[in-house]
Amino acid sequence: MLAEPPRVTRSATALEPARRLGIEGELVFPVDPTGGDLVMPNGYREGTHNGIDIGNGCSPGRGRSLLACADAVVNSMEQSTRPGKYITLRDRSDTYYRYHHLAEFIEGMEVGAAVSAGQVIGLMGSTGNTNWAHVHFEVWRHSLSPNIGFPIDPLPLLQRPAGLTIGSPQCDN
Ligand SMILES: [Zn+2]
Q: Would you give the DSSP letter of residue 14?
A: T
Distance 84 CA to ligand 1 centre (A): 12
Range 11-166: architecture per CATH: Distorted Sandwich (2.70)
pLDDT of residue 15: 65
Distance 101 CA to ligand 1 centre (A): 9
The angle formed by the CA atoms of residues 83, 161 and 171, to the nearest 5 degrees, is 75
pLDDT tens by residue, the chain, 173 residues? 455 555 544 444 556 766 776 666 789 999 999 988 899 999 999 889 999 999 998 888 899 999 999 999 999 999 999 999 999 999 998 999 999 999 999 999 999 999 999 999 999 999 999 999 999 999 999 999 999 999 999 999 999 999 899 998 777 75
φ/ψ of residue 130, rounded to 5: -155, 155
Distance 42 CA to ligand 1 centre (A): 7
Domain range summary for the chain, segments of one domain joined by +: 11-166
pLDDT of residue 164: 92
pLDDT of residue 59: 84
CA gap 65, 34 in Å, rounded:
9
